[in-house]
């Protein structure tokens, strides 16, 4: 499937950049990348998916080639959800499907609860439709405080952007993203960096750091309440070596993910499908063939009932 276009959608603070595959008259699928990633996240997966869809992979604000938010405005979860609504409006989509990896799945899941009539199918790649507050409730106020303080610090420091060699950039990136792998790391950095005379620097806004500064955490009670609003069919693909908690130190605790999948199953019944695949958090980049089949069956299944694997 050839890349047919690069999109630049106007928003009040600048533009949202995106990549698109297929015919824009086909059924639309919006692809939402993970935290600090960008639209290149889907370059290896989309060519393996059915050709009769229009795939648009956007860069969230402050990521990839999208504009940074205006000075003084922080990046909060609700803003990213609002970006999805803006993109749908710009593309004149009334109803579409969402394919979200990690943080992108949580943004897409939240959007699907708030605008249920707009989402046909929701694919969650090593993700959850909402950020569950397990292990976080004691930290919530601290996180809110740190988020505000961080933005003020970045504004006060006014440190110039440091250019480094492409190799140094890649090694730093891989150190912070052990699941990515060198080839995929290079591919994300292609869109995530700018080349200058003295080296490369990250495109992303320095106001964005830790996801816990940005997430809207919900209790288990609210989680169940929210997902009752979903009208979409939902496919949750769990990578067995992927992430199970927002904070890596809690990754050994698999109970929250079990709560997420069992709640979705009990509320959505036959509209929910859960599949485990061997691989790590970036399986859609490292081994896209591992997930392409189940995603393709799910997208093409008219009734939305679980397709036989």
Contact criterion met (CB below 8 Å) for 185 and 170: yes
Active-site annotation holder among 41, 66, 67, 102: 102
Q: Degrees (nearest 5) of the Cα angle 147, 202, 126?
A: 65
Q: Tokens representing 221?
A: 């009670």
Q: Is 97 a catalytic residue?
A: no
Residue whose token pair is 């061997």: 278
Phi first, then psi: give them for residue 243, nearest 5 degrees. -95, 145
Specify the pairing of strand 199-202 against strand 217-218.
unpaired
Is there a contact between 79 and 61 (Cβ–Cβ < 8 Å)? yes
Pairing of strands 53-58, 27-32: parallel
Give dist(CA 120, CA 117) in Å, integer: 8
Spell out the residues 6+ positions from residue 221 whose beta carbon is closer than 8 angstroms to its own: none
**Encoding tokens for residue 21?**
């595959």
CA distance 63 to 191: 9
H helix intervals, the chain: 77-90, 103-114, 140-157, 166-176, 182-192, 220-227, 255-268, 283-286, 289-300
Please list the active-site residues.
102
């Amino acid at each position: 499937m050839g890349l047919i276009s690069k999109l630049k959608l106007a928003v009040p603070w600048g533009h949202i950049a995106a990549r698109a595959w297929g015919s824009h008259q086909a059924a639309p699928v919006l692809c939402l990348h993970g935290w600090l990633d960008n639209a290149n996240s889907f370059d290896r997966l989309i060519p393996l998916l059915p050709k009769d869809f229009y795939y648009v992979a956007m860069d969230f604000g402050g990521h990839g080639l999208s504009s940074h938010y205006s000075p003084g405005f922080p990046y909060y979860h609700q803003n990213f959800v609002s970006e999805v609504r803006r993109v749908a409006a710009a593309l004149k989509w009334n109803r579409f499907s969402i394919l979200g990896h990690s943080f992108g799945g949580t943004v897409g899941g939240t959007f699907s609860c708030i605008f249920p009539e707009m989402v046909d199918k929701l694919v969650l790649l090593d993700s959850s439709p909402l950020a569950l507050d397990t292990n976080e409730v004691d930290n919530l106020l601290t996180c809110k405080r740190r988020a505000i303080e961080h933005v003020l610090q970045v504004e006060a420091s006014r440190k110039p952007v440091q250019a480094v060699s492409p190799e140094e950039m890649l090694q730093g990136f891989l150190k912070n993203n052990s699941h990515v792998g060198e080839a995929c790391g290079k591919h994300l950095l292609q869109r995530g960096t700018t080349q200058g005379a003295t080296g490369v620097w990250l495109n992303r806004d320095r106001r964005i750091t830790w996801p816990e500064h940005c997430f809207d955490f919900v209790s288990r009670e609210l989680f169940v309440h929210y997902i009752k609003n979903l009208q979409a069919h939902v496919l949750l693909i769990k990578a067995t070596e992927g992430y199970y908690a927002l904070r890596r130190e809690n990754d050994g605790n698999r109970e929250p993910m079990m709560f997420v999948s069992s709640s979705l199953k009990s509320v959505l019944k036959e509209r929910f499908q859960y599949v485990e695949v061997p691989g790590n958090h970036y399986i859609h980049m490292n081994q896209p063939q591992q997930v392409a089949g189940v995603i393709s069956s799910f997208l093409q299944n008219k009734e939305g009932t679980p397709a036989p694997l």
